[in-house]
Amino acid sequence: MVLSGVAPKPWRAVDAEAALTGNRLDAATIDRVATASVAGAQPMPHNGYKVGLVRGLVEETFAYLDASARPIELAADNCGAFADEQVYKAPSDHLVVTHANLTASRWLAWVDVANAVAWLLVILIFQIEIVLDQLEKLTRSWLVFCTGSKVLLYLVLAGNALYWTIYSNFIDYWDAWIWLIAFVLIDMNLLGMEGEDSRNVHATHTK
């Protein structure tokens, strides 16, 4: 368990890990983990309030992992529900999943890969635009190509965000939509700045 933003580097909360390991994730365990996460904290002057914020954040994060998000423990009274199901077990852990759950997990993983690749390509196109603009080689053809490519990639990212909205949890799709909207707004502003720069350059040359 690692906390970010509380030290010059990511801070491993060893005491919180110990409070969590081997225990059911119920209200009492969450309270112990939250308390252990700030055990020994030494705040700087005027930011002692952050200790309480960190504790509250840890508590809220683990409270979010309620019973519906945790695996069901197999026992004699519920094994019969899986009698007609094809199940799979990963060799690295003790989780047993149905074919439907395995398929859903694979789709989520592939969407995550597609999302990462799309963002890398968006950043690459941004970089190409900047370099060509600095070299004064950003022709209309290049601009059309870059703009069209970004539109297609934004559509892919919107599709990924929509998929997470339907099949995943709040954290996934909220983060996806925020980043997508932010980049589209930045892109629109950059286009506006480019247009303003072009008008200024034209005005300068005509004087």
Q: What is the pLDDT of residue 160?
A: 94
Q: Max alpha carbon distance in the chain (Å)?
A: 87
d(CA 119, CA 173): 15
- Quick one: pLDDT band at residue 205, thresholds 50, 70, 90? very low
**Tens of pLDDT along 34-73?**
999 998 888 888 888 888 888 888 888 887 775 555 666 7
At residue 116, does pLDDT exceed 90? Answer: yes
Left, alpha or beta for 118 (phi > 0: left; psi -120 to 50: alpha)?
Answer: alpha
> Please, what is the average pLDDT of the chain?
82
The whole-number pLDDT of residue 201 equals 42
Q: What angle do CA 155, 156, 157 make, to 5 degrees?
A: 90
**pLDDT over 90 for what percent of the chain?**
29
